[in-house]
Amino acid sequence: MRPLKATRAPVIHRSKPLEGPDADFASGERHETEPKLRLGGVKLFGRKSQRFDPAPSRLSYRLQRWMLTPGIRRGLKYGLPILAICAATGLYFSAEDRRVAVVAYVNDIKTSIQQRPEFMVNLMAIDGAGPNLSEDIREVVPLDFPISSWDLDAEQIRDTITGLDPVKSATVRIRPGGILQVDVVERQPVVVWRTRSGTELLDETGAHVERVASRKDHATLPLIAGKGADEHVAEALQLLTTARSLGARVRGLVRIGERRWDLVLDRGQRIMLPTDRPVRALERVLAVNEVQDLLERDVAVVDMRLGQRPTIRMTEAASEDWWSTKTDVSSRQ
């Protein structure tokens, strides 16, 4: 009798079944585990994937190799989407009205955020300035409150305020509570400068503070005069400090020839000071005055322009007097 089933296929005992690439390898089938960014060359050309001849065609082989090239894969993974997005945006924005619409939309949102009450500035507070100056500042900074703090340029406002003559320095900031805080340091006038065109006040650096109508309004301030005097206010102040001992006799300082100072006293007396080291020369005069009461006498001018040769000009009366005395004496002899 012939046995019905005589094949002796060996039973292969495996602890666990093959899986993954091993199983594909053993069975010789193509595996479709995860098609990562791959063009199935075979399918692309409309041929059946299970053919008698497993060999790929030359074209599909090349195509597959090409798709496996790292550069190409990266290009397809990143470059292509980026390109597509760029092209889509470009196409969308190529029309004028769309562009305008988008810009308008963005501006709308921007304004609505800027106009929120948290960002609004309602008033300007000015500290450290007199009423006149405050008015001036309000004039040069024309803001119509309420205004959004996004539209305020504190830097520019500060520059404008600093550009005013009486203002020495200023800080501008936006205080919580919607207040534009301006802190001003005013220039303090120290001298009155009289020129042909009028009378003005200068601070210690010679900067213009204010034009005044009359010297009498500022009687406490010393007076200087002459062209170019404003550039040497510091020197003038030094001289005036030195001449303090003369007290109320000092009328003022005159800048002569934009070069040197004359100290003018009452009774028309004048002390002509040299160009360099005028303080020193004045001290000499004051020393002589201390000892000999020089300035109490009938002296019109004390000329200190030449340091080696201080000269005195007497008043006309005094010199006549002196002459008559002299002739009297000689005639008596």
Partner 1 sequence: MMTDLYQSQRAMRQMRRQAMQRGVVAILDVGSSKISCLVLRFDGTGRLSEDNSIGSLAGQTGFRVIGAATTRSRGVQFGEVTAMQETERAIRTALQAAQKMADIRVDHVIACFSGANPRSYGLDAQVDLEGQVVSEAEVGRVLNACDVPDYGAGREVLHAQPVNFALDNRSGLIDPRGQMGQTLAVDMHMLTVDAVAIQNIVRCIKRCDLELAGIANSAYVSGISALVEDEQELGAACIDMGGGTTSVSIFMKKHMIYADCVRMGGDHVTSDISMGLGVPANVAERIKTFNGGVHATGADDRDLIDIGGDTGDWEHDRRTVSRAELIGIMRPRVEEILEEVRIRLDAAGFDHLPSQQIVLTGGGSQIMGLDGLATRILGQRVRLGRPLRVHGLPQSATGPGFSSVVGLSLFAAHPQDEWWDFEIPVDTYAARPFKRAVRWFRDNW
Residues that bind partner 1 in the complex, under the rule CB under 8 A: 2-3, 6-10, 18, 21-22, 25-26, 28, 30, 36, 38, 53-56, 58, 61-62, 64-65, 68-70
With CA atoms as reference, report the closest residue to 130 among 73, 187, 175: 187
Cα(21)–Cα(227) distance, integer angstroms: 103
Task: Choose between 76 and 104: whose C-beta lies nearer to partner 1.
Answer: 76
Q: Beta strands 270-272 and 260-265: pairing type?
A: antiparallel
- How far is the CA of 102 from the CAs of 89, 92, 98, 243, 312, in angstroms? 12, 11, 6, 75, 88
Say if CB 286 and CB 240 are below 8 A apart: no
Task: Choose between 51 and 326: whose C-beta lies nearer to partner 1.
Answer: 51
- How far is the CA of 210 from the CAs of 118, 158, 162, 188, 192, in angstroms? 40, 20, 15, 10, 10
Phi-psi region of 210 (alpha: psi -120 to 50; beta: other; left: phi over 0): beta
Say if CB 249 and CB 265 are below 8 A apart: yes
Min dist. Cβ of residue 48 to partner 1 (A)? 16
Task: Choose between 68 and 80: whose C-beta lies nearer to partner 1.
Answer: 68
Task: Choose between 26 and 219: whose C-beta lies nearer to partner 1.
Answer: 26
Min dist. Cβ of residue 151 to partner 1 (A)? 59
Min dist. Cβ of residue 13 to partner 1 (A)? 14
Phi-psi region of 29 (alpha: psi -120 to 50; beta: other; left: phi over 0): beta
Which residue spans within 136-259 are E strands per DSSP? Answer: 147-148, 167-175, 179-186, 191-195, 198-202, 208-212, 223-225, 250-256
Task: Choose between 11 and 291: whose C-beta lies nearer to partner 1.
Answer: 11
Min dist. Cβ of residue 68 to partner 1 (A)? 4
Task: Choose between 37 and 86: whose C-beta lies nearer to partner 1.
Answer: 37
Min dist. Cβ of residue 44 to partner 1 (A)? 14
Min dist. Cβ of residue 21 to partner 1 (A)? 6
